[in-house]
Structure 1
């Protein structure tokens, strides 16, 4: 399954000269101001020229580096005491070079489709163990069955700017959010809506962070 219309460029080329295959563990790290700030193990669902699809399963551990300057403080999930992902897990659909992912959520005992979450973030950069990015806090959420999307964490994004988390990036982040909103308002769908019915392979084991995950150089 692919997103509609590729956006592949050099940002999507594998650092180690290969792509991940379905079932591989892909370490998704967040890099803030040059430092690894957070990491979690995900599972590769698809890795093609036009799409990187990663699944974050329930119970996947959260990793927080022990050493660093952390000029904006520790990761909020670490501060809150969150140690692993919960719920049904989420699927993250990312096109190379784009500053957002389309995340798929499910809910309830029947694992019903809950909605599309447009997560603003740095375009992913490949590492030998996975990908690096940085969540931009500001997001859009379109619940299943709703007529329209809603903006998320607008006030929190403003607070993060005060904290200095995104120096020189505020205008670009807002512009990406506005671009996504304009596409949605125009009825554009650049992802395959069939992902709403996707289910993880039941044989996949729970992924774990490899030793030394935080020490892999930042590109």
Structure 2
């Protein structure tokens, strides 16, 4: 099956699928969709969606429980290579939108849908701040707690392995993304998109 590609500026719905159910959704904006890279921008004010129908064996999404209803602060850019179980996220900070650092977000490899992409955040991440000499691991204890809760059945070794693989690449000085993304600027005409009607009922891939 030939998968459709998204045009720059098009809304791409990023959903999280947990144990066969849609758990979370947010609208992003396509920056680039090529054979080697899918770059998605999550702008400030992009709404968060939390389905009401489902069993939710691991509970409701943490952002829903915390009362988060939209993305705040600067937007973030998410860089994905086909088949990889992580994204390289770009963050900015301060009134001048200074580059803050690279965030290596462990997640399910993206699966395309008619309205966007499906994945699942794996909680465990690595962060390399712009002014730091080395990366640090993030949310190690939270990840361990999620395993106890049953969020990632049978996936623990693979998730840790992906984190170790990223760490080894960074230790070896490898950079598989273009550092020029740190200076990327969103189109000023882009506004915070809304989730389309029926976003949670689109069949899961």
Which TM-score bucket, shorter chain as reference? over 0.9
The corresponding residue for 1:37 is: 23
State the match for 1:115 in structure 2.
Answer: 101
> Which of 67, 76, 85 is 1:99 aligned to?
85
Could you tell me how far apart the structure 2 residues matched to 1:34 and 1:67 are? 12
Q: Residue 204 of structure 1: CA displacement?
A: 1.2
Q: Which residue of 1 aligns with 2:163?
A: 177
Question: Retained in 1: the 8 A contact 2:43–2:191?
Answer: no
Matched, 1:160 2:128: no
CA distance in 1, matches of 2:124, 2:36: 24
Equivalent residue of 1:60, what SS? coil
How much does 1:44 deviate? Answer: 0.1
List alignment gaps of at least 5 residues for structure 1. Answer: 1-9
The alignment status of 1:147 with 2:141, answered yes or no, reads no
Where in structure 1 do 4 or more consecutive aligned residues deviate above 3 Å? none
Match of 1:7 in 2: none
1:16-95 equivalence runs, <5 A: 18-95=4-81
What is the CA distance between 1:126 and its match in structure 2? 0.1
After TM superposition, the score normalised by the length of structure 2 is: 0.99
Aligned-CA RMSD value: 0.8
Provide the residue aligned with 1:209 in structure 2: 195
State the alpha-carbon separation in 1 of the partners of residues 120 and 100 from structure 2. Answer: 24
* Counterpart Cα distance in 1 of 2:180 and 2:131: 15
Distance 1:34 1:46 in 2: 28
Take 2:108 and 2:192, find their aligned partners in 1: how far apart are those partners? 26
Shift in Å, 1:205: 2.4
CA deviations over 1:45-94 (Å, ceiling 9, x no partner): 00000000000000000000011000000000000000000111100000
State how far apart, in whole Å, the 2-side matches of 1:154 and 1:205 are: 35
Report how many aligned residue pairs link the two structures. Answer: 205
Distance 2:200 2:117 in 1: 12
Aligned equivalent of 1:138: 124
- TM normalised by structure 1 equals 0.93
